[in-house]
Copies of this chain bind each other. A is one copy, B any other.
Amino acid sequence: MATKFSDLELAINTLVTEFHKSADDGPTMNTTQFQTMLSNQLPAFSKTVEGEEGLAQVLQQMGVESGQDISFNHFWTLINKQAIDLFGSTHKEKNVKCSCLLQ
Contact = CB atoms under 8 A, between A and B. Distances in A.
Given A19-B87, A82-B12, A90-B16, A6 B41 contact: yes
A9 B80 contact: no
Contacts of A19: 87
Nearest to A28: B95
B73 A98 contact: yes
Contacts of A12: 11, 15, 79, 82-83, 86
Tallying the copies of this chain within the complex gives 2
27 contacts: A6-B42, A7-B18, A7-B41, A8-B15, A8-B18, A9-B41, A9-B44, A10-B14, A11-B12, A11-B15, A11-B18, A12-B15, A12-B82, A12-B83, A16-B87, A16-B90, A19-B87, A20-B91, A25-B91, A71-B95, A72-B87, A72-B91, A72-B95, A72-B96, A73-B96, A76-B84, A100-B101
